[in-house]
Amino acid sequence: LNFRNYISEIYAIISLNMHAMDYEDSFVKIAGLIGGEEYVKVSRALLNTEDVTDEEIASATGLKINIVRKVLYDLFGKALITGIRVKDEKKGWFVYRWRAKQDHVDNFIENQKKKILDRLHKRLEHEDSTEFYHCGNHDCPRVKFDTAVELFFKCPNCKGPLNMVDNSRVKEALRYKIDQITTDIINTKANAAANKEAEEAAKEEEEAEEKVAKAKKGGSSKPSKAKAPASSKKAAAAAPKPKKKK
């Protein structure tokens, strides 16, 4: 039973370590994990040229046009790229121009985590509630108790005796992956909330600084009261004062 390897391969698709590759963009990395080398070539072409056609991608990558279209439709279905329909002025017909949605990579990863987490929970529930029997031959399948009874506890493939399976290791592997993915989801949400809070605080600080700068600028531009010239002050002092009436 290679279920541990199976779930490890699944989780590799949505592992947070995918961003650790210094030489590759996360968009290219996730594309490669989805479909391999062909997806890597197409995703690189999408990043190199914005709003690119399938024919331009085929020319840049050396891939056949039908393979390029297959990759594009798959990435579009996963909401990792967007396409706009425009008219080709030279040829006279409409074509699609494609653009990578790099800001959607994190959302795609989180959605994959939630889907796989749901599958793992269902599989764990199935393992907990079912009694399995197996002959010990790796090429033969496990069977449920009811099926084993109908077969008189003989393997349907090799006819060897069926014995009850201890699936505690499988359940342990399932619980480990469930805990791992759940922790990743919680940490990602916490980091996103912290980043959002930091961005809002930085924005508020920037707005406050702008208000202070405007206030200072407005204060320096207020018109000052005009001072009387010194000559007029002397003339006023020299002028005779009116005599008081007796």
- Rounded to whole angstroms, how far apart are CA atoms 14 and 30? 8
Q: Is the pLDDT of residue 157 over 50?
A: yes
Q: What are the helix and strand counts (H, E) for the chain?
A: 9, 5
pLDDT of residue 166: 94
In this predicted structure, what is the pLDDT of residue 23? 43
Percent of the chain with pLDDT over 90: 46
97 has a pLDDT exceeding 90: yes
Q: Mean pLDDT for the chain?
A: 82
**Separation CA 131–CA 139 (nearest Å):** 19
Rounded CA-CA distance 132/97 in Å is 52
Lowest-confidence pick of 34-43, 49-58, 120-129, 204-213: 204-213
Q: Does residue 235 carry a pLDDT above 90?
A: no
The mean-pLDDT minimum among 32-36, 124-128, 219-223 falls in: 219-223
How far is residue 24's CA from residue 18's CA, in Å, rounded to a whole number? 10
User: How high is the pLDDT of residue 242?
Assistant: 53
CA–CA distance, 49 with 186 (Å, rounded to integer): 36
Task: Kindly tell me if the per-residue pLDDT of 29 is higher than 70.
Answer: yes
